[in-house]
Amino acid sequence: MARRKMEKGTHTHTHVQQTGRRQAAGDSQGEQRPIAQPSEGEIEVPTGGKRRRYPVTATVKVFNEDLVEFFHVDDVHLTVLSLLTNCSTASSSPLCPFFLPIYAPYLHLLLIIISPIPFIHFQSITFRITTKKKKKKKKKKPTQASSMAPPPLLCFFYILLLSSVSAIADTNPITLPLSSFPHHSSSDPLQTLNFLASASQNRAHQIKAPKSKSNSVSKSPLSPHSYGAYSTPLSFGTPSQTLHLIFDTGSSLVWLPCTSKYLCSECSFPKIDPARIPRFIPKLSSSSKLVGCQNPKCAWIFGPDVKSQCRSCNPKTENCTQTCPAYVVQYGSGSTAGLLLSETLDFPNKKITNFVVGCSFLSIHQPSGIAGFGRGSESLPSQMGLKKFAYCLASRKFDDSPHAGELILDSSGAKTSGLTYTPFRQNPSVSNHAYKEYYYLTIRKIFVGNKAVKVPYKYLVPGPDGNGGSIIDSGSTFTFMDKPVFEAVAQEIEKQLANRTRATDVESLTGLRPCFDISKDKSVEFPELTFHLKGGAKWALPLSNYFALVSSSGVACLTVVTHKAAESGGGPSIILGAFQQQNLYVEFDLVNQKIGFRQQTCS
């Protein structure tokens, strides 16, 4: 029987380290102030089965003064985010970060960004407000209106500023450090393992039930929860501003905590001060521009029907003055919202101009930005025109010492020696485009020791409905398996280790199973876990890549999670997480559509 050894003292876990740069000194916080003349129009609201129209005189105030000072707005078209619709309870808060109070007898709409609060629900709300130049009249206070007019409306403004730019060609590979980036710290390793297991389950839930791209402002591709993930430094703007972003092969959008008034609700993690989260300041960059609604790149996020939202634009006019709608990205237990910018991505010997990046000004439970490396057009590899990229994830320890691997961005396509390859696979689903952004590979068999685990074919290969198959994901901490697959693997491990004592108390505390007591062993031999892949490749996991040793209790736990409930749901059946990829050089060959790997020390 093939077996793996774990020496006592070889601790596998995550240390805590806050990365990134602090907000630059002197960033102006500013105060809210009007940026345009009062606007006149009407607002139409369906109430009690009827549609009522209300005249509106609104003085526009902007929540985020950074955008005001940066774009120097003199005249704007008012647009209200459609996030106000379909939000009725606190449970929908990840997609509904806005508060809408309504007071009779006047319609008083106050649009602000605060922590989610339950509010009154309307099926649809249509705002029809246009900006007009005022005729010269006697001066009146902007806040005064007719007896039928409501108090001021507080909303965001959109404006388009685009320029024709192109990337500077350079085929030399770019190598960046890749560091472990956990946000959670606990002196209790059992609590930390439980936290990472729950985060992996939450992420798997989001991976398996994403929403397709549409003309809605909501987009739910796979996006990481960030705990236990890895970060890499990226520089945007002119002059450049450097932030550490979560490296994620399971999503495509690149976004930054943005503006000095960036808000992060529920982000008080150990060693994380929500008020001091490093952020990108657009007004300090001469290359920042908002992406327009008619810009083809807007469709990367919202799909081809997004132009139907350009209501204030003439369809025949290329230079539309309305921006791309606000995006909302949902995670397993968090979300972020913002606007798309066209910016310069700056490397030491290469600049990528007109790079589309998300400028997030609100997040919930998600303090860090994300570098999406998925298969979507908006991903970093796609926008850079990379032929391949590779990474090597440093191992995790039960200490606070720094561990950094490498992230290689390669435009040359040069062959890498010593790798074993398996081809990528496309998800055949036509109903959910989000599945096509994942990197699928084909697992033919799973072995525990020399014993092949019986796994039904439908879990190993994605079907026409998009369900089944396996993806590789740097944003998931632990590997996830649908319950039937997990039970088959776990039961075989338990069978082969039947002579060992189960640590059921640790299982209940960590949410991981099976766990075994190894406190009396100087070294440990467990059956080897191996994935047999299409093309003949074999991925044999070192013991430290699929069992975590809890030093405080002398217990080793399998670092594979599954659903808490019996229902498996749709989407990929197996999600190969970052913990299983430690000390593994992984190459994504985007030209030849294959993934290669070899075992090596990454730090």
pLDDT at 576 exceeding the cut of 60: yes
- Residue where a domain terminates, one of 328, 356, 391: 391
**Nearest C-alpha neighbor of 374 from the set 329, 341, 315, 309:** 329
pLDDT band at 362 (very low <50, low <70, confident <90, very high): confident
Q: Amino acid letter at 349?
A: N
Residues 251 and 254: their CA atoms lie apart, in Å, by 9
| Residue predicted with more confidence, 565 or 381 | 381
Q: What is the structure's pLDDT at 356?
A: 97
Q: Is residue 200 part of a domain?
A: no
Whole-angstrom distance, CA of residue 549 vs CA of residue 13: 8
User: What confidence tens digit (pLDDT) does each residue in 126-158 have?
Assistant: 333 333 334 444 444 443 333 333 332 223 322
Residue 118 confidence (pLDDT): 26
pLDDT at residue 600 greater than cutoff 70: yes
Read off the pLDDT of each residue in 315-332 and give the average, rounded to a whole number. 69
Q: What Cα–Cα distance (Å) separates residue 48 from each residue in 52, 122, 165?
A: 10, 10, 51
Q: Tell me whether residue 311 is in a domain.
A: yes
- 77-109 b/e (C-beta count within 10 Å ≥ 16 → b): bbbbbbbbbebeeeeebbbbbbbbeeeeeebeb
Query: Model confidence at 459, in pLDDT bands (50, 70, 90)?
Result: very high
Contacts of 269 (CB under 8 A, 6+ apart): 183, 184, 185, 367
Residues 160-204: pLDDT tens digits? 222 222 333 456 788 776 766 544 445 566 666 766 766 666 666
The answer to whether residue 169 is domain-embedded is: no
Confidence of residue 566 (pLDDT cuts 50, 70, 90): low
Quick one: pLDDT at residue 228? 61
Task: Return d(Cα 576, Cα 496) in angstroms, integer.
Answer: 23
Between CA 472 and CA 595 the distance in angstroms is 10
How far apart, in Å, are the Cα atoms of 331 and each of 222, 226, 370? 7, 9, 11
CB of 488 within 8 A of CB of 454?
yes
Residues 437 and 531 reside in one and the same domain: yes
CB of 518 within 8 A of CB of 531?
Answer: no
- Residue 484 structure tokens: 């039937």
Q: Are residues 533 and 454 in the same domain?
A: yes
Tell me, yes or no, whether 368 lies in a domain.
Answer: yes
Q: Would you say 292 and 341 are in contact if contact means Cβ atoms under 8 Å apart?
A: no
The pLDDT of residue 540 is 94
Q: Give pLDDT, residue 524.
A: 82
Question: 52 in a domain, yes or no?
Answer: yes
| In a shared domain, residues 420 and 326 | no
On whether both 444 and 503 belong to a single domain, the answer is: yes
- Predicted confidence at residue 107, as pLDDT, reads 26
Q: In what order do the strands lie in the sheet with 547-550?
A: 515-517, 555-558, 547-550
Beta-carbon neighbour count of residue 283 at 10 Å? 18
Percent of the chain with pLDDT over 90: 34
Instruction: Tell me which residue of 474, 434, 440, 439 sits closest to 218, measured CA to CA.
Output: 434
Residue range 483-516, pLDDT digits in tens = 999 999 999 999 999 999 999 999 898 889 999 9
Question: Under 8 Å CB-to-CB from 144, ≥6 apart: which residues?
Answer: none
Give the C-alpha separation, 409 to 396, whole Å.
23
Instruction: Say yes or no to pLDDT of 387 above 80.
Output: yes
Question: In this structure, is residue 281 part of a structural domain?
Answer: yes
- Which of residues 119 and 594 earns the better pLDDT score? 594
The SS3 assignment for 423 reads strand
Q: Could you tell me if residue 240 is inside a domain?
A: yes
Give yes or no: residues 91 and 183 share one domain: no
2-16, 288-302, 402-416, 589-603, range with the lowest pLDDT: 2-16
Per mean pLDDT, which range of 22-26, 101-105, 491-495 is the poorest? 101-105
Residue holding tokens 């910016």? 343
- Backbone dihedral region of 71: left (phi > 0), alpha (psi from -120 to 50 degrees) or beta? alpha
- What mean pLDDT comes out for the span 104-128? 27
Query: Residue 261: its pLDDT value, please?
Result: 84
Q: What confidence score (pLDDT) does residue 202 get?
A: 65
Is 265 in the same domain as 117?
A: no
Neighbours of 419 (CB within 10 A): 17
Give yes or no: residues 369 and 433 share one domain. Answer: no
Q: Is 383 in the same domain as 432?
A: no
Task: Match 């039928």 to its residue by tokens.
Answer: 148
The pLDDT of residue 104 is: 24
Question: In this model, does residue 111 exceed pLDDT 70?
Answer: no
CB 42 within 8 A of CB 146: no
Residues 248, 313, single domain; the answer is yes
pLDDT-based confidence at residue 476 (cuts at 50, 70, 90): confident
The count of domains in the chain is 3
Which pLDDT belongs to residue 412?
A: 86
Question: Domain holding 456: CATH number?
Answer: 2.40.70.10
pLDDT value, residue 294: 82
* Model pLDDT, residue 363: 84
For residues 473 and 573, membership in a common domain is answered with yes
pLDDT score for 265: 75
Q: Domain boundary at 357, 391, 425, which?
A: 391
pLDDT of amino acid 393? 87
pLDDT at 312: 54
CA distance 375 to 380: 9
Averaged confidence pLDDT in the chain = 69
Task: Give residue 307's pLDDT.
Answer: 73
210-249 pLDDT, tens digit per residue, is 554 433 222 222 222 334 678 889 999 999 999 989 899 9
pLDDT value at residue 394:
83
270: exposed, middle or buried (Cβ count in 10 Å: 0-12, 13-18, 19+): exposed
Backbone angles phi, psi at 197, to 5 degrees: -65, -45
Residue 506 CB contacts under 8 Å (≥ 6 apart), including other chains: 190, 512, 515, 550, 553, 555, 557
Q: What's the pLDDT score for residue 386? A: 94
Reported as a single tens digit per residue, the pLDDT across 264-308 is 877 666 566 677 788 999 999 999 999 988 889 998 988 888 777
Q: Cβ(472)–Cβ(595) under 8 Å?
A: yes
Containing structural domain, residue 129 = 39-75+77-135+143-158
DSSP 3-state assignment of 305?
A: helix
Report phi then psi at 189, rounded to 5: -65, -30
pLDDT for the residue 262:
85
Give a yes or no: residue 166 inside a domain: no
Q: Tell me the whole-structure pTM to 2 decimals.
A: 0.71
Pick the range with the lowest mean pLDDT from 5-9, 131-135, 479-483.
131-135
Res. 23: pLDDT tops 80: no
CB atoms near residue 142 (< 10 Å): 16
Q: Look at residue 520 in the predicted model and tell me its pLDDT.
A: 85
Q: Which residues of 10-32 are buried (b: 16+ CB within 10 A; e: fewer)?
A: bbbbbebbbbbeebeeeeeeeee
**Percent of the chain residues past pLDDT 70, beyond the cut:** 57
Residue that has been written with the tokens 């500013």 in this structure: 30
The model's pLDDT over 423-458, given as tens digits with 9 standing for 90+, comes to 999 999 877 878 889 999 999 999 999 999 999 999
Query: At which of 367, 391, 415 does a domain end?
Result: 391
Residue 99 has pLDDT above 50, yes or no: no
What is the average per-residue pLDDT within 556-563? 92
For residues 385 and 413, membership in a common domain is answered with no
318 has a pLDDT exceeding 70: no
Residues 6+ apart with CB under 8 A from 9: 551
Q: Are residues 376 and 467 in the same domain?
A: no
User: Which range in 55-59, 205-209, 280-284, 311-315 is most confidently predicted, on average pLDDT?
Assistant: 280-284
